Amino acid sequence: MSQVIHHDEHYDAEGSKIGMWLFIFTELLLFGGLFIIYSVYRFSNQDAFHLAAEELNRTVGTINTIILLVSSMTIAMSTSALQKKQKKTTLALLGVTLLLGLVFLVNKYFEWGTKFEHGIFPGSQYMLDHLSQGEILFFGLYFVMTGLHALHIIVGMVVIGFAYAGVRSGRVNADRAALLENSGLYWHLVDLIWIFLFPLFYLIH
User: In sequence order, which residues have a C-beta less than 8 Å from that of residue 119 and are 6 or more positions away?
Assistant: 125, 126, 127
Q: Which position has the higher pLDDT, 19 or 162? A: 162
pLDDT of 171 > 60? The answer is yes
pLDDT of 13 > 80? The answer is no
For residues 65 and 195, the answer to whether their CB atoms sit within 8 Å is yes
For residues 82 and 31, the answer to whether their CB atoms sit within 8 Å is no
48-95, pLDDT tens digit by residue? Answer: 999 999 989 999 999 999 999 999 999 999 999 999 999 999 999 999
Domain residue ranges in the chain = 2-203
Collapsing DSSP to helix, strand or coil, 173 comes out as: strand
26-41, pLDDT tens digit by residue? Answer: 998 999 999 999 999 9
pLDDT-wise least confident of 11-15, 56-60, 124-128, 161-165: 11-15
pLDDT, average across residues 144-149: 96
| pLDDT score of 129 | 87
* Number of neighbours of residue 68 by Cβ within 10 angstroms: 25
| pLDDT score of 33 | 94
| pLDDT score of 77 | 97
In angstroms, rounded to a whole number, what is the distance separating the alpha carbons of residues 68 and 146? 14
Range list of H helices, 45-132? 46-53, 58-83, 87-117, 125-130
Q: What is the DSSP letter of 171?
A: S
Q: Closest by alpha carbon to 151, among 199, 189, 195?
A: 189
CATH architecture for segment(s) 2-203:
Up-down Bundle (1.20)
pLDDT of 132 > 70? The answer is yes
Q: What is the CA radius of gyration of the chain?
A: 20
User: In sequence order, which residues have a C-beta less than 8 Å from that of residue 48 and are 6 or more positions away?
Assistant: 132, 133, 134, 135, 137, 138
pLDDT of 1 > 70? The answer is no
For residues 121 and 143, the answer to whether their CB atoms sit within 8 Å is yes
Q: How many CA atoms lie within 13 A of 116 on its CB side?
A: 7
pLDDT, average across residues 151-170: 96
For residues 107 and 62, the answer to whether their CB atoms sit within 8 Å is no
pLDDT, average across residues 154-158: 96
User: pTM of the predicted model, to two decimals?
Assistant: 0.87
| pLDDT score of 7 | 45
